[in-house]
Amino acid sequence: MLIILQLILFIVVAPFLSGLISKVKNNIRMRKGQSVLQPYYNLAKLFSKREVVSETASWIFKVTPFVVLAAMLVSAALIPVFMLRSPLNHAGDFLALIFIFSLGRFFLVLSALDTGSSFGGMGGSREMFISSLLEPALCMAVFAVSLQFGSTDILAFSGMHAISVSSVVAALTLFLVAIAETSRIPVDNQETHLELTMIHEAMVLEYSGRSLALIELSSYIKQMILFFLIAQIIFPIGLPVCPEGGQVYTSFMQIFLWVLWYLARIIIIAITVALVEISVAKMRLFRAADFLGLAFVLGVVASVCAILGV
């Protein structure tokens, strides 16, 4: 039951984060900006719109939105949000999460190639380029967190660890990974449709209507998963339903504060992402390799710190 609640939480809250980031960015630029709820309006609009499918497209194009959504929802179900261990947690560990992300991406790129548009090919090629160089960095971040915990179990994120140098560096690595994975500046730019720079937007260019809504929703969920993981590493906090040594809350006030802080952490991460986005310039595509190289080096540092026990 809690699993379903967890999925609903991710589906409901995820678009808000994107709206928030965009609002913060606009406000800092002295603009009014769109409403925080704009992503919801967009989704609602897309759901009611008719779809246009390319005549070149095959069944790959049609199943991709569902595969991508399923992959993101499975990831969202795996991570411990409310409870320590549910039957579904057994399905995969932290390493499996990397591969599940990769499943969604695989189909997204195939669907981009499917329509025969050069935008799709361009976006797909760049996406694979970025993500394959991202993989070692992500793996190192996983290792760093897991080495502290002693196993790659997803429970490393149950928030019962003490903050160490290693976890800070690992969080930083994950932060860089998250920026690249959620197609944000300096790697990609969500706000533009300029063919020279776009990656994610070029990939999903041929999608419209409900299919596009599902894909957008999946990217929001992915973003929230990554933010959640970062938050759990750097601001560890116990889980509410946690029989084995989590915090015990007695009063209503405590629970209220807990919930507040639980959500506030993710918002802090989102605001940080917004601040990073407005303070750096978009990199050339091939400079992104350096960015990902930095993420990898940080990941190695985090792992070495974890090995040294600091």
Partner 1 sequence: MSNFLPKQFLQFDPLSLFFLFVIFIVSLPSAIYSFSYLKGEYSPVKIRLSWFLLTIFVFSMALVVSVNNALVFLVFWEIMSLVSYFLVVFDTDHEKSIQAGMIYIVMTHIGTAFLIAALMLMYKHANSFGFSAIKSACQVMPGKTKNIIFLLLLAGFGTKAGIVPLHIWLPYAHPQAPSHISSIMSGVMIKTAIYGIIRFVIYILGVQTYWWGILLLILAGITCLVGIIYALMVRDIKRLLAYSSVENMGIILLGIGLAMLFQSMNMPYLAVFSLIAGLYHLVNHAIFKGLLFLGAGSVYKACGTRDMEKLGGLIKNMPQTAACFLIGAMAISALPPLNGFVSEWLTLQAFFLGAVNATGGVKVFLVICAAVLALTSGLAAACFVKAFGITFLALPRSRYAKEAREVPLTMRAGMFFLSLLVIIFGLACVKIIKILSQVAGSVTGFDISSMHFSLNNFVLSPQVGKNIYSSTPLLGLMLLVLGLAGFVVYRLFGKNKAVIYKTWDCGYYKIGPRNEYTATAFSKPFRIAFSFFLLPYRKTQKIRESFYHVKSFAYETHTTPVFKRYIYEPLLELVFKVAKSMRRIQLGSIHLYLGYIFITIVLLIVFIQKF
Instruction: Please report, as residue ranges, which positions from 75 to 134 form the binding site for partner 1 (by CB under 8 A).
Output: 77, 88-93, 95-96, 98-100, 102-103, 105-106, 109-110, 113-122, 124-126, 128-129, 131-134
Q: Can you tell me the distance from the alpha carbon of 180 to that of 224, in angstroms, rounded to the nearest whole number?
A: 14
User: Encoding tokens for residue 202?
Assistant: 């070029």
Q: Which residue shows structure tokens 């629970």?
A: 255
Q: Restricting to residues 153-172, which ones interact with partner 1 according to CB under 8 A?
A: 153, 155
Q: How many CA atoms lie within 13 A of 129 on its CB side?
A: 17
The yes or no reply on residue 71 touching partner 1 (CB under 8 A) is: yes
From its phi and psi, is residue 303 left (phi > 0), alpha (psi between -120 and 50) or beta? alpha
Q: Which is nearer to partner 1, 18 or 148 (CB)?
A: 148
Q: By CB under 8 A, is residue 220 in contact with partner 1?
A: no
Q: Which of residues 241-280 bind partner 1 (CB under 8 A)?
A: none
CB nearer partner 1, residue 24 or residue 202: 202
22 or 219: whose CB is closer to partner 1? 219
51 binds partner 1 (CB under 8 A): yes
What is the dihedral sign for C-alpha 225, 162, 134, 277? positive
Provide, rounded to whole angstroms, the least separation between the CB of residue 136 and partner 1: 4
Residues composing the chain: 310
Q: Which stretch binds partner 1 (CB under 8 A): 34-42, 67-75, 233-241, 251-259?
A: 67-75
Residue 50 touching partner 1 (CB under 8 A):
yes
Does position 174 interact with partner 1 (CB under 8 A)? The reply is no
* Pairwise CA distance, residues 184 & 277, whole Å: 7
Number of neighbours of residue 260 by Cβ within 10 angstroms: 10
Distance between CA atoms of residues 95 and 57, nearest Å: 33
To partner 1, the closest distance from the beta carbon of 234 in angstroms equals 21
